[in-house]
Structure 1
């Protein structure tokens, strides 16, 4: 996975831009992937691991009414987490992960339901006018496999945006299109 992290950091460094990460189900794995790349500090500002729902609201600025109505496993929550960490840590780009790695369902969502999101500078995201892009995933496998695939997917989503909309997310798309198999 470090290749995707290295590619993301290389592109950000070349562009003179920075990245912040908000994580829930991945519990710091995205930040660890990025920090494992030599020279990461040139572009990686830091991360917030907001495992608890109240941290999503109080630290990242996710709308409390949204969390109350839909729970933490929601595409809008993912988008607000990415935007919030971008703002809180003063970065050009923010990425986030939220979902259910298991072993039990959460907020009425089955294990393997994951949302990854990216928020970037105005006009920088391809295929969106909101400044945020969310990818829903339906993943199968163990808790570890779901978390690893979530890391890979969020880095691929950001890489896709940095590279101008070219896809790097074939495996997750294939998994989703095949009903998670």
Structure 2
């Protein structure tokens, strides 16, 4: 279902989480569950994936992950503070000790000069705490390409968080 490199990355995350005894949660917006989908494509992933949150709307981010409405109003959903809050919220609202979040603008519309199509913010929390943030600007390369590239980045970030 997923390209080979994504399948391999998901397998690496599952194996690393098994080895470390870490449970994972995902908090996704523009990827719509593709990160958790990649993880669940790996046999045995049920031992490490607690749950995936698809919080596409601002209301869902606030209700399900406890992202403050103040952050959403001040910075917008596609921002570093919201990505960080989503990752923390995923851990706080699950049995997971590690998480990754993705929030961005996949396009084709919805972008602006400040936040163009292809802008995606990621954050990850590892079992030892702390939040790591990454911003990527993939450009207006098409909705599917932005989403798949986002899955690649999210899995790499999650692997680093779990293996650290």
Shift of 1:163: 3.6
Partner of 2:161: 161
Aligned to 2:35: 30
| Cα deviation code 1:55-91 (max 9, x no counterpart) | 1011101111010111100011001101101111120
CA offset digits 1:79-122 (Å, max 9, x no partner): 11011011111201011100000011347511010011101233
Q: Which residue of the partner structure matches residue 50 of structure 2?
A: 45
Report matched runs for 1:29-108 at 5 Å. Answer: 29-106=34-111
- In the alignment, structure 2 segments of 5+ residues that lack a partner are 1-5
Which residue in 2 is equivalent to 1:109? 115
Q: SS of the residue aligned with 1:116? A: strand
SS of structure 2 residue aligned to 1:96: strand
User: Paired residues, what number?
Assistant: 157
Deviation at 1:46, TM superposition (A): 1.1
Matched, 1:2 2:4: no
For the residues of structure 2 that align with 1:90 and 1:109, how far apart are their CA atoms? 33
Aligned residue number for residue 18 of structure 1: 23
Report the TM-score when normalising by structure 1.
0.83
TM-score by length of 2: 0.91
In structure 2, what is the Cα distance between the partners aligned to 1:159 and 1:44? 13
Q: Which runs of 5+ in 1 are unaligned?
A: 124-130, 165-181
> Pairwise CA RMSD of aligned residues?
1.3
Distance 1:36 1:54 in 2: 29
Report the counterpart of residue 3 of structure 2 in structure 1.
none
User: Is the 8 Å Cα contact of residues 106 and 147 (structure 2) preserved in structure 1?
Assistant: yes
Contact 2:72 2:82 in 1 (8 A): yes
CA contact (8 A) 2:120 2:135 kept: yes
Runs of 4+ in 1 over 4 A off after TM superposition: none
